[in-house]
């Protein structure tokens, strides 16, 4: 049974995801040029940078300067990623939009590799974020469960484990007087399948029918867009994507094509299915070509290579 949404919210994560994993140095001005071009396509949120330790992620050693150089377009949110309180406090000093999020990871091994914290320590860290949000009148918008569909270190992740993580997010929110509006199920290392997406979304919906749902789907093993289609059929409306399929997680222990699902491919699929994205697809394809020129190697996007569907003759 299909429950396709009429429209979707797309969060563009290409700059942050892409530039954190590229082995070659990319100039600050070049990063800014891609971010500004993406803002002209109709996307409403761009994850622009990672506020992390430059020794671990040297591609974002210039994050502060990127934030300061962006010429912002009204109506677009320019966000960043942080993994600890130091990163959040750093974000507060920069001209970026701070989105109230909390994050947990279903795989403890991945959690330790990614953040140097186990689950209990992660919960304590999230409490410090929530305290910061509360003191600064920042609403809680979303929760994330990383490795919701599997982990290269631990293998399969049981849906029951993901449900327990979501319950932890609810409990954390309530400790600080918040209600958790929604959760993103993140296939951080690209181990998901359409059936796994359907089963997990069904179980989450059965337990929390009013909870908003989003996905963050990596295409490491070629199932990303199929997984997104499965989520769409269940009415999921929020999707993280990356232009050209840029990116990947530096701590995912995988090679090949670990990037997120490709924004222009996802937009093409949605529009062909009658789902509104609010995005100018030709302009987005141009951004994909721009991203490919910047990184200097072929990207994974299909529409950028095949082209748009030809218009029917009058």
What the chain holds in terms of domains, given with CATH numbers, is 9-306 (3.20.20.70)
- What the block records as the tokens of 162 is 């993901």
Closest C-alpha to 208, from 123, 124, 143, 134: 143
CA angle 60/94/28 to nearest 5° reads 35
Alpha helices by DSSP H, listed for the chain, are: 14-19, 28-39, 63-69, 85-92, 108-115, 119-135, 159-175, 194-207, 224-233, 263-272, 281-295, 303-306
By the 10 Å C-beta count (0-12 exposed, 13-18 middle, 19+ buried), 222 is classed as exposed
Per-residue burial over 107-135, b = 16 or more CB atoms within 10 Å of its CB, e = otherwise: bbebbbbbbebebeebbebbeebbebbee
Distance CA 268, CA 256 (A): 24
Please state, in angstroms and rounded to a whole number, the distance separating the CA atoms of residues 61 and 82. 13
Supply the pTM of this predicted model. 0.94
Residue ranges of the chain whose pLDDT lies below 50: 256-257
pLDDT at 256: 47
pLDDT at 2: 76
Q: What is the CA radius of gyration of the chain?
A: 18
The catalytic site residues sit at 249
pLDDT for res 257? 44
């Amino acid at each position: 049974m299909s429950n396709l949404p009429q429209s979707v919210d797309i969060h563009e994560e290409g700059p942050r995801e892409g530039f954190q994993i590229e082995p070659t140095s990319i100039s600050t001005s070049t990063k800014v040029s891609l971010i500004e071009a993406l803002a002209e396509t109709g996307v409403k949120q761009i994850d622009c940078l990672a506020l992390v330790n430059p020794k671990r992620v040297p591609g974002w050693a210039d994050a502060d300067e990127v934030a300061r150089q962006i010429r912002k377009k009204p109506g677009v949110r320019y966000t960043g990623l942080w993994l600890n309180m130091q990163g959040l406090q750093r974000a507060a000093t920069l001209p970026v939009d701070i989105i109230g999020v909390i994050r947990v990871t279903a795989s403890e091994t991945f959690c330790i590799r990614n953040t140097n914290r186990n689950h209990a320590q992660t919960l304590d860290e999230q409490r410090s974020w929530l305290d910061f949000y509360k003191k600064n009148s920042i609403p809680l918008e979303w929760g994330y469960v990383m490795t919701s569909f599997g982990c290269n270190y631990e293998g399969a992740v049981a849906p029951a484990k993901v449900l327990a993580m979501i319950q932890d997010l609810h409990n954390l929110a309530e400790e600080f007087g918040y209600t958790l509006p929604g959760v993103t199920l993140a296939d951080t290392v690209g181990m998901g399948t359409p059936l796994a997406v359907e089963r997990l979304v069904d179980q989450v919906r059965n337990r929390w029918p009013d909870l908003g749902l989003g996905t963050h789907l990596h295409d490491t093993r070629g199932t990303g867009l199929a997984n997104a289609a499965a989520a769409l059929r269940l009415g999921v409306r929020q999707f993280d994507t990356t232009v050209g399929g840029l990116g990947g997680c530096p701590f995912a222990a995988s090679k090949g094509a670990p990037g997120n699902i490709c924004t222009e491919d996802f937009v093409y699929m949605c529009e062909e299915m009658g789902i509104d994205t609010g995005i100018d697809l030709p302009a987005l394809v141009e951004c994909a070509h721009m991203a490919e020129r910047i990184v200097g190697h072929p990207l994974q996007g299909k529409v950028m290579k095949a082209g748009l569907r030809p218009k029917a003759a009058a």
